[in-house]
Structure 1
Amino acid sequence: MTRRATPVPVPWPALPSHRAWLDAETRRLLRFGAGAALAGGGAAYLDETGRPDAAHGVQTWITARTAHVYSLGHLLGVPGSAAVADAALAGLAGLLRDAVHGGWHHAVSASGEPDVAAGKSCYDHAFVMLAAASATVAGRPGARDLLSEATDVYLHRFWDDAAGRPVDAWDSAFTALDPYRGLNATMHSVEAMLAVADASPPDEAAAWRARAGRAAAFVVALADVHDARLPEHFGPDWSPDLDLNRDRPADPFKPYGATPGHGLEWARLLVHLDAVAPDTRLTAAAVALFDRAVADGWAADGADGFVYTTDWSGAPVVRTRMHWVVAEAIAAASALFARTGEARFADWYATWWDYADRFLLDRERGSWVHELDQANRAASSVWPGKPDVYHALQATLIPRLPLAPTLARALREGALR
């Protein structure tokens, strides 16, 4: 067991040999995920071996993540990536797009029926923006038009300019707005808005970064009030609902309590924003979020790994270990080391790659095991299979790129180390 960071004599992010290892892992992940491309357009949810799992239909968030990841693969010069990106983009332009009411369905079933009951979510639409932005930077056909449509839908349906953050969900026809507001959709909106800025003309870019900054300012304030344990769920006036899903704590999208993984993901995003719109409060808040996530989440129950959720005192609630949390921990540690130069972040970075290598990297079937139980054994209580490679792949790229611009733009500019 490794409760504390293991000091390393030379910071791993500075080692050419480590960067070569990261490059090999990037390519291994891209090989696994390439099976998601569907002949009719879109990207499949993948099983443990990388085969499409038709039971999940074609989902917008999976398809958008695939378009984003393989646009990055194309910019990396990995053969075959463009075809996967284009298949995913075709799904966003066709199968998953709601030609009647606008926006994107959450999913389409194996029989071709849209999931109308799921409505239209900000989470899905943020990923469509991210996909379109990365594909635009990568020069993929049709991406610029998709970006224009996605940003238009987002601004008209999801962005609440008065609040300075997005609403969460509508019904399928965009006639009834759900009263729920969520920090998860806000987080992925910030990620997407920064990417959109890097795919836009200067005047539009400034507006997108300003929107991202307003949403981030809300998170900075939340972190200060709640001892860096971020509330995830809110009412229509953005008052926190700290008890939501107390009876269903492992909900995959709306879990009860604080989510250390989101604290880490927000920490990274705040550092990226600080790099393009300097504000000392952003990195200070990022450090607080990082430290809280580590103190509450890492090896909190006696075994290595991050627990999925905690209560508001920091005690573990759902002890399952999710692969995406480790990926975001790696990325956050890398970003904070780059921003501050503090050795402790590089030490945690090395510790978490060691953990990933020991428990998550699946050398036999590919990709990363997506979920572990509290004894670090493979599990599937929340996320069956290995749906996509988005989080893991970004963990291999962020340590090799500057804090700004965002991934696709940085790759296009030749900034990869």
Structure 2
Amino acid sequence: MTATLLDDPDHRAFLAEDARRALNLFDASPRAGGGFHGLDPAGQPLPADLQELHSTTRLVHSYALAQMAGRPDRAGIIDQGMDFLWNGHRDRDHGGYLWSVTGDGPVNGIKLAYGHVFVLLAASSAKMAVHPDADRLLDDITLVLDRHFWDAQAGLFRDEFTCDWQAFSTYRGMNANMHGVEALLAAHEATGDGEYLTRAGGILRFFIAGQAAGNDWRIPEHYDADWRPDHAYSGNPMFRPAGTTPGHSFEMARLLLQWWDLAGRPTGDAVAQATALVRRGLSDAWSDDLGGLVYTLNRDGGVDNAARYWWPVTEAIGALAALLKVQPTSEFDGWYRKLWQFAGQHMVDARHGGWHHELGPDNQPVMTQFQGKPDIYHALQADLLPLTPGLSGQAKDLAQLQPLGV
């Protein structure tokens, strides 16, 4: 069997230490009175009072993983996040969860599938970390997703509603469904309920076997009400950019392998499909001149947005780590090493902790799309998932390994 960087003791020690540094930085997140601060590059709170649903949920999920991995939640982030989801984001009048709030109340009451599936992820991870409020949140978000967002005929998540659940667009998207798969797999691990796993598998089949396979292994991001690709769509440049997004192909590849493992490794094309997604994403997105991965492509695979963010690199690392566990080849090991070498040189902030979120043309950190370091979730998973021996049962593996110590 080919020896890979995944097995190298020095690399594994680096992963654990990078995770600890990030957690130490984000320990400064809790805000007096509830919710969380955004952080500047040095980990100091930013003055903005706005709290978005995906930020709250990702912090809960990340610190739940870290707690299972042996790093106590010294800052009380899981407790504060679970309380703020229930008492800050939850819409007591209409049900569901508000996208953005401040200490004075709702700012944007739109109900997005993207945010709601992260509530499911947070609740599931909190349950695996044995949080006392996890079942309450898990039961509520499962009901909300099933009642409002789940398109039973298509077997996919619809995207958006007004605060009182009126449909105001026909937009359908891959991003919310991709993170829906992530959340459904976590919910299955947390509860053992097979319906979560079944739904995740159906979503993966639609976007990978049904879309990527017919589009040269690039996944269309945007769809109309009948789930037909809308190649002309151009929405929010961060959450709904035009074209295709290679970083999402890496995420989908990893999630496909996680589902395949949880489903008992059924015969079929899961490994081949994951391999095709990763190879296409690396071929399309790697910047030969500067390193790193470009953000978006046009329909034919040319670069549309050449910005280089941290999260596609973290997701490529996660996908390659998963593939290396199935087929430890020199090809995948070479790419895994290459990505970590680039990240270690340009994106990992060894001084303050966490990762720089964007690089400029001189490979120095810039802040055009993001202010400071608003997110621990992507980079923490890039550290933790390669440390686990399996493709699924991530929480169980972390709890058994305790790679972050006490």
Q: What's the TM-score bracket when you normalise by the shorter of the two chains?
A: over 0.9
The structure 1 residue matched to 2:273, chosen from 262, 280, 285, is 285
The structure 1 residue matched to 2:340, chosen from 336, 342, 353, is 353
CA offsets per residue over residues 71-127 of structure 1, 9 Å max, x none? 112112223347111111111011111111111100112x422023x5110111111
Aligned counterparts, 1:5-44, within 5 A: 10-44=3-37
Deviates more, 1:134-143 or 1:389-398: 134-143
Note closer, same or farther for the CA distance 1:229–1:114 as it changes in structure 2 (3 Å cut): same
CA offsets per residue over residues 141-193 of structure 1, 9 Å max, x none? 21111111111111111111110110011111112253100000000000000
Name 1:383's counterpart in structure 2: 370
CA–CA separation in structure 1 for the residues paired with 2:312 and 2:79: 28
Name 1:398's counterpart in structure 2: 385
Give the drift of 1:44: 2.6
- Counterpart contact for 1:267–1:286, Cα < 8 Å: yes
- Counterpart contact for 1:361–1:368, Cα < 8 Å: yes
Residue type of the alignment partner of 1:258: T
Name 1:6's counterpart in structure 2: none
Name 1:113's counterpart in structure 2: 105
Q: Secondary structure at the match of 1:115?
A: strand
2:302 is aligned with 1:315:
yes
The structure 1 residue matched to 2:158, chosen from 154, 167, 181, is 167
Give the drift of 1:232: 0.4
CA–CA separation in structure 1 for the residues paired with 2:36 and 2:394: 21
Name 2:94's counterpart in structure 1: 101
Residue type of the alignment partner of 2:129: A
The structure 1 residue matched to 2:60, chosen from 51, 55, 67, is 67
The structure 1 residue matched to 2:318, chosen from 310, 331, 341, is 331
Residue type of the alignment partner of 1:312: R
RMSD: 1.8
Q: Secondary structure at the match of 1:128?
A: helix
- Counterpart contact for 1:229–1:258, Cα < 8 Å: yes
2:247 is aligned with 1:261:
yes
Name 2:232's counterpart in structure 1: 243
Q: Which runs of 5+ in 1 are unaligned?
A: 1-8
Q: What number of residue pairs does the alignment pair up?
A: 400
Q: Secondary structure at the match of 1:35?
A: coil
Q: Secondary structure at the match of 1:317?
A: strand
- Counterpart contact for 2:4–2:328, Cα < 8 Å: no
Name 1:5's counterpart in structure 2: none
The structure 2 residue matched to 1:140, chosen from 131, 135, 147, is 131
Give the drift of 1:49: 2.0
2:76 is aligned with 1:76:
no
- Counterpart contact for 2:3–2:328, Cα < 8 Å: no
Q: TM-score, normalised by structure 2?
A: 0.94
2:114 is aligned with 1:126:
no
CA–CA separation in structure 1 for the residues paired with 2:47 and 2:143: 31
Name 1:208's counterpart in structure 2: 196
Deviates more, 1:182-191 or 1:80-89: 80-89
Residue type of the alignment partner of 2:223: F
Residue type of the alignment partner of 1:115: V
CA–CA separation in structure 2 for the residues paired with 1:64 and 1:240: 29
Q: TM-score, normalised by structure 1?
A: 0.92
Deviates more, 1:382-391 or 1:191-200: 382-391
Give the drift of 1:24: 0.8
Deviates more, 1:266-275 or 1:79-88: 79-88
Give the drift of 1:342: 1.9
- Counterpart contact for 1:11–1:346, Cα < 8 Å: yes
Aligned counterparts, 1:42-53, within 5 A: 42-53=35-46
Runs of 4+ in 1 over 4 A off after TM superposition: 413-417
CA offsets per residue over residues 346-394 of structure 1, 9 Å max, x none? 1111110100011001123321100112442222222221102100000
Residue type of the alignment partner of 1:386: K
Give the drift of 1:46: 2.2
2:176 is aligned with 1:188:
no
2:363 is aligned with 1:372:
no
Note closer, same or farther for the CA distance 1:232–1:70 as it changes in structure 2 (3 Å cut): same
Deviates more, 1:27-36 or 1:72-81: 72-81
Larger RCO, structure (CA 8 Å, separation 6 or more): 2
- Counterpart contact for 1:368–1:392, Cα < 8 Å: yes
Deviates more, 1:348-357 or 1:39-48: 39-48
CA–CA separation in structure 2 for the residues paired with 1:239 and 1:30: 41
Give the drift of 1:414: 4.3
Q: Secondary structure at the match of 1:253?
A: coil
Give the drift of 1:10: 4.2
Give the drift of 1:129: 0.6
Q: Secondary structure at the match of 1:410?
A: helix
Note closer, same or farther for the CA distance 1:192–1:13 as it changes in structure 2 (3 Å cut): same
